[in-house]
Amino acid sequence: MNSQTAPSLADVARHAGVSLSTASRALNDAYGVSAVTRARVLESASALDFVVSPDARRLASGTTGRVAVVVPHIERWFFGQMVSGIERVLSEADFDILLYHVDDAEDRREFLARLPARRKVDAVVVVAFPVGEAERERLELIGAKIIAAGGQSASYPYVCIDDVNAGRLAMDHLTSLGHRRIAMIAGSDPDQPGWPATPGRSRAYESALEALGVSPDPALVRDVDWNPVNAGKAMADILDAAGEPPTAVYAHGDELAFGVLHTLRHRGYRVPEDISVIGIDNHPLAELLDLTTVAQDVGEQGAAAARLVLQALGRAQAEPGAAPGVVAPVHLVERASTAPPRS
């Protein structure tokens, strides 16, 4: 604290009266250090306020103590939650998190192309976007582990929800209330078409209808880029285009449903009396808007992904019989935006 430069391992070793090697081993919980010696070293280290230089350690040992978290749209609720969950367990395990923001395919390609050569991280968790086979090979060549969160990608460990199942819960709720004429606002990221949630949630819509013998009406379906305002416009569109309005709307996400709610209100429809609305996510504001939804715990998914990282790095035991991936649970949260159709 009285020097301009941070204390080094050498300072600690000197202070504790041991060699560099012993100090290093004591600090790293390695075998072959007597309890008393270790205690002495630890004491010296904390007395000197010592923390290893990550660069030196990395250089000498070949491991970085860092993991990259790669996310699109970090300003969006889903991704913030995810990062928060990842950070929580990884920082607990003393890893540093390198945050990379990549939106479109070009960003992604460039990021993945550069990362391996940089040897900056032990692992990378890619949130909600696909990694190609070629890119995967590059990453693995240099020993970086990969984990996918918010979607399943290629063949590495992943955590995600079952989108078909989530969609089915929503649709079943609607159909069991008696709805038959159901609109769908599908979320579809232009930067990653067909990925990740869209196909499953759409399929759930189609099969629910099919099971009822209802043939889907294309006038009742719109793709939206996950922007609430655009979802509102899509809803207006449907109202304008469809001869008869739907009795219910199934949105791929709560943020889309918020836009739907807005348009409905402005058009003078009452929810749920005239039209029911359901979303997916259980966004923090869903409660305030009385939105019925299928809840998922995104923060917990992030934490699970982080645990997968730890396992991949040998820092944690895989749970016995654990699958290569974890499918997070979802459940229906009934609120006041859904009701039987008016008879």
Binding-site ranges for its own copies (CB under 8 A): 4-7, 49-51, 53-56, 58-59, 64, 66, 69, 74-77, 79-81, 83-84, 87-88, 91, 96-101, 113-114, 116-120, 141-142, 228-229, 232, 255, 258-259, 261-262, 284-285, 287-290, 299
Rule CB under 7 A: say whether 9 interacts with DNA: yes
Partner from DNA, its own copies, none contacting 47, C-beta within 5 to 8 A by type: none
- Closest CB to its own copies among 34 and 46? 46
The SS3 of residue 28 is coil
How far is the C-alpha of 83 from the C-alpha of 54, rounded, in Å?
Answer: 22
Checking DSSP bridges between strand 330-333 and strand 292-296, what pairing results, if any? antiparallel
Give the nearest distance from C-beta 258 to DNA in angstroms: 49
Partner from its own copies, DNA, none contacting 21, C-beta within 5 to 8 A by type: DNA
The token pair at 2 is: 């009285």
Q: Which stretch binds DNA (CB under 7 A): 48-56, 214-222, 227-235, 315-323?
A: 48-56
Angle in degrees, 0-180, between the axes of helices 228-241 and 254-266, rounded to the nearest 10: 50
Nearest Cα neighbor of 202 from 237, 163, 150, 233 is: 163
Beta bridge mates, 192: none
Q: Which of 47, 56, 211, 336 is the binder for DNA (CB under 7 A)? A: 56
Decide: 204 and 167 in contact? Cβ < 8 Å. Answer: yes
How far is the C-alpha of 178 from the C-alpha of 38, rounded, in Å?
Answer: 69
The token pair at 184 is: 């769908």
Beta bridge mates, 331: 295
In sequence order, the 6+-apart residues with CB closer than 8 A to the CB of 273 are: 339, 342
Partner from its own copies, DNA, none contacting 116, C-beta within 5 to 8 A by type: its own copies
Give the nearest distance from C-beta 100 to its own copies in angstroms: 7
User: How does DSSP classify residue 178?
Assistant: T
Q: Which stretch binds DNA (CB under 7 A): 19-27, 189-197, 292-300, 328-336?
A: 19-27
Partner from its own copies, DNA, none contacting 33, C-beta within 5 to 8 A by type: DNA
Give the nearest distance from C-beta 80 to its own copies in angstroms: 4
Rule CB under 7 A: say whether 45 interacts with DNA: no
For tokens 């395919």, the residue is 105
- Interface ranges with DNA (CB under 7 A): 5, 8-10, 18-22, 24-25, 27-28, 30-34, 36-38, 50, 52-53, 56-57, 59-62
